[in-house]
Amino acid sequence: MAVIEIKVPDIGDYSDVPVIEVLVAVGDSVAKDQGLVTLESDKATLEVPSSAAGVVKELKVKIGDTLSEGAVVLLLETEGEAAAPAPAKAETKAAAAPAAAAPGSKPPVTPSHRAPAEPAAPKPALASGKTADIECKMVVLGAGPGGYTAAFRAADLGLDTVLIERYASLGGVCLNVGCIPSKALLHAAAVIDEVAHAGDFGVDFGRPKITLDKLREYKEKVVGKLTGGLASMAKQRKVRTVTGVATFVSPNELEIVGADGKTQLLRFEHCIIAAGSQAVKLPNFPWDDKRVMDSTDALELHDIPKTLLVVGGGIIGLEMATVYSALGSKVTVVEFMDQLMPGADKDLVKPLADRLKKQGVEVHLKTKATDVKADKTGITVGFEAAAEGEKPALAATTYDRVLVAVGRSPNGKKIGADKAGVTVTERGFIPVDRQMRTNVPHIFAIGDIVGNPMLAHKATHEGKLAAEVAAGEKKEWVARVIPSVAYTNPEIAWVGVTETEAKAKGLKVGVAKFPWAASGRAIGIGRTEGFTKLIFDEETHRIIGGAIVGVHAGDLLAEIGLAIEMGAEAEDIGHTIHAHPTLSESVGMAAEVYDGTITDLYIPKKK
Q: Which of 410, 185, 405 is nearest to 316 (CA)?
A: 405
Query: Which residue(s) pair with 309 in the sheet?
Result: 332, 402
Distance (Å, rounded) from C-alpha 380 to C-alpha 400?
9
pLDDT score of 115: 53
CA 603 to chain centre: 36
- DSSP letters, 219-246, are HHHHHHHHHHHHHHHHHHTT-EEEESEE
Residue 334's SS3 state is strand
Catalytic residue, chosen from 113, 302, 575, 580, is: 580
Phi-psi region of 263 (alpha: psi -120 to 50; beta: other; left: phi over 0): beta
* Domains of the chain by start residue, with CATH: 2-85 (2.40.50.100), 134-279+410-470 (3.50.50.60), 292-406 (3.50.50.60), 490-595 (3.30.390.30)
pLDDT digits (tens, 9 = 90+) for 451-481: 989 999 999 999 999 999 999 999 999 999 9
Residue 495 φ then ψ, to 5° = -155, 145
Share of the chain above pLDDT 90, in %: 78
pLDDT score of 393: 86
pLDDT score of 114: 52
Q: Which residue type occupies 520?
A: G
List average pLDDT for each run of 10 residues in the chain, which is 607 residues long.
Answer: 88 72 87 82 66 91 85 87 44 37 34 54 83 97 98 98 95 93 97 94 93 97 94 96 97 96 97 97 94 97 97 97 98 96 95 96 96 96 91 94 96 97 96 96 97 95 98 94 97 97 94 98 96 97 98 98 97 97 98 96 76
Which residues, in sequence order, are CB contacts of 404 under 8 Å at separation 6+?
279, 280, 281, 282, 285, 292, 293, 294, 311, 312
Distance (Å, rounded) from C-alpha 600 to C-alpha 605?
15
Q: In what helix (H) or strand (E) does residue 119 lie, and over which residues does it extend?
A: none
Residue 32, Cβ neighbours under 10 Å: how many? 14
Distance (Å, rounded) from C-alpha 521 to C-alpha 76?
54
Q: At CA 237, angle to CA 235 and CA 239, rounded to 5?
A: 70
pLDDT score of 424: 97
Residue 417's SS3 state is helix
Q: In what helix (H) or strand (E) does residue 393 lie, and over which residues does it extend?
A: none
Distance (Å, rounded) from C-alpha 499 to C-alpha 511?
8
Q: Which of 158, 94, 113 is nearest to 468 (CA)?
A: 158
Q: 534-560 as b/e, with b when 16 or more CB fall inside 10 Å?
A: bbbbeeebbbbbbbbbbbbbbebbebb
Distance (Å, rounded) from C-alpha 201 to C-alpha 224?
37
Residue 174: burial class (beta carbons within 10 Å; 0-12, 13-18, 19+)? buried
pLDDT score of 122: 85
Distance (Å, rounded) from C-alpha 173 to C-alpha 165?
10
Residue 263: burial class (beta carbons within 10 Å; 0-12, 13-18, 19+)? exposed
- DSSP letters, 25-91, are -TT-EE-TT-EEEEEEETTEEEEEEPSS-EEEEEE---TT-EE-TT-EEEEEEESS-SPPPPPPPPE
Helix axes 212-236, 145-156, angle to 10 degrees: 20
Is position 580 annotated as part of the catalytic site?
Answer: yes
pLDDT score of 45: 60
pLDDT score of 463: 98
Residue 274, Cβ neighbours under 10 Å: how many? 33
Residue 486's SS3 state is strand
Residue 154's SS3 state is helix
